Amino acid sequence: MDPSRLIPYPDILPAPWWLFYVLLVATFTLHLIMANVMLGGGIMLLAGEWLKRGEQKHKGERMHRDIAPKLPMTIALTVNLGIPPLLFLQVLYGNFIYVSTMLMAVYWLSIFVLIILAYYGAYLYNMKYDRLGGSRPWVMVISVLLMLAVGFFFTNSLLIMTDPKVWPTYFDRSAGTLIHFSEPNLIPRYLHFVVSSVAMGGLVMGLLGWWKNRKGEPDGGATMTRGLRVYAFATLFQFLVGALYLGTLPNQVLTRAAFENTAAMAVFVISIATALCSVLYGMSDRPWHTAVTAVATIFFMVLFRYAVQNAYLESYLPAARAEVVLQLSPMALFIAALIGGTAVVVYLLKLALRPGKESQL
C-alpha cells in the first residue's frame, strides 16, 4: 500500500510555517535540556545510592542532599516546557503525529500516568527520605525507570511519525501497540537521549558544586569536579552513540540531511565543535563555559534533528503542507502574555530572593 495515501490532510495555519518552526525548535531545545536534567538528576541519585552502599557513604549523602529536593521541581518544569513543543509539533506535523501516536496509543496514553507516578516517587524519596529505609533506593529506581519509559515512548512516537512506510501495519493490528523495532535507528536514537541525560545530570551537579564552592562550603569543589567529569566522559561516549545513530539512519535520509543540505551540514559540524569544546571545558573545571557550550550543542543538535526529520518526510511533506490564513491578533495576545508573564516571573523571583522578615505571628 502506498503510505502517502494515508497521510491526513492538514488543518489551516493561522501564522506562517516558519514562525511555528522557530517556536518549535526554541521550545523543544528548552524542553530537551530540562528532560535531560530531570532524568540525569534521577540517575545521579541512583549513583548516590550506590555510593552509599560502599565506603563513600558521605559522597552519596551529599549527592542526595544536593539533588533530591530539586528533582520534583525539575519534573514540573520538564512537563511544563514540554507543552509548547508538543503544541507546535501538532500545529506543523499534526497529520503525522496524530497517526503515529494512534499506532502506539496504549503506550502514548500511559505517559501521563507514568509521569504522575515518577513525580510522586520523587516527592516521596525527598520528603520521607529517612522513613523509607531500605526501600528508598527502589523508590528512585522505579521513578527513573518510569522516566526512561516515557522517554522511550516519545522516541518511538517521533520515529513512527517520520516513517509513514510503517503505517500500513495498522490494518493488521489496530490495538495501538506498535513499537517501531523494524527501524534500526530506534535504539541508537533513544540511547542518544539517555546518554545526553547522564551528561546533563553531571553538568548540573558540577554547577551545584560551583555554587556551593562560592558559598564557601568545603565539599563544593570536589562535587563540581566530579559532576564535570561525569559530563565529559558521558559526552565522549556520546560520540560513539551519535556515530551509531548516524550509521543507522536510512541512506537517503543521511544523504539528504547531511550531504545535500549545506546548512544542516554546517549546523552538524558546529554542534560537534561545541561538544568537543564542552568536553575540554569540563575536563578543565570550568562549569559555566561547559554549560554554555553544552546548551549550544543541544540547540544545534536539535536543528540538525529537524533537518533529519524533514529528510525522512521529504517525499510526503509537499502534499501534506498546510494552507496559511493569517490571524495575527491572537498571536499578539500570546506575545503580550509572554512579555507580561515573564515580567511577573522576574518580579516573583525578586520577591523570593529578597531577604524578608517573617510574620510576627
> How many residues contact other proteins, by CB under 8 A?
71
Tell me if 176 contacts other proteins by CB under 8 A.
Answer: yes
Among 50, 57, 174, 217, binds other proteins (CB under 8 A): 174
Contacts 24+ apart (CB under 8 A), 191-195: 191/241, 191/244, 191/245, 192/238, 192/241, 192/242, 192/245, 193/35, 193/36, 193/151, 193/155, 194/39, 194/148, 194/151, 195/234, 195/237, 195/238, 195/241
Residue 13: beta bridge partners?
Answer: 324
Regarding 95 and contact with other proteins (CB under 8 A), the answer is yes
- Residue owning grid cell 520528603: 127
Q: Which residues, numbered 244-283, are part of the site for other proteins (CB under 8 A)?
A: none
- The yes or no reply on residue 321 touching other proteins (CB under 8 A) is no
Task: Work out which of 28, 96, 108, 268 binds other proteins, going by CB under 8 A.
Answer: 108
Among 25, 26, 46, 76, binds other proteins (CB under 8 A): 76
In the bound state with other proteins, the residue whose beta carbon lies nearer, of 7 and 145, is 7
Residue 5 in the binding site for other proteins (CB under 8 A) = yes
CA angle 314, 303, 148 (to 5 degrees): 95
Say if CB 256 and CB 314 are below 8 A apart: yes
> Within 113-152, which residues bind other proteins (CB under 8 A)?
113, 115-116, 119-120, 123
The closest alpha carbon to 41, from 188, 206, 192, belongs to 206
Minimum CB separation of residue 22 from other proteins in Å reads: 13
Q: Does 17 contact other proteins by CB under 8 A? A: no
Residue closer to other proteins (CB basis): 251 or 361: 361
Of 240, 263, 280, 348, which lies in the binding site for other proteins, with binding defined by CB under 8 A?
A: 348
Q: What is the DSSP letter of 167?
A: G
Which x/- pattern over 184-213 shows residues binding other proteins (rule: CB under 8 A)?
A: ------------------------------
Residue 330 touches other proteins, criterion: CB under 8 A? yes
CA-to-CA distance for 217 and 200, rounded, in angstroms?
23
Cα gap 307→20, rounded to integer Å: 15
Handedness of CA 39, 41, 44, 48 (dihedral sign): negative
Of the residues 24, 35, 67, 88, which one makes contact with other proteins according to CB under 8 A: 88
Q: By CB under 8 A, is residue 344 in contact with other proteins?
A: yes
Q: Write the binding mask 27 to 66 for other proteins: x where contact by CB under 8 A, - elsewhere.
A: ----------------------------------------
What's the rounded Cα separation, in Å, for the pair 359 and 39?
A: 38
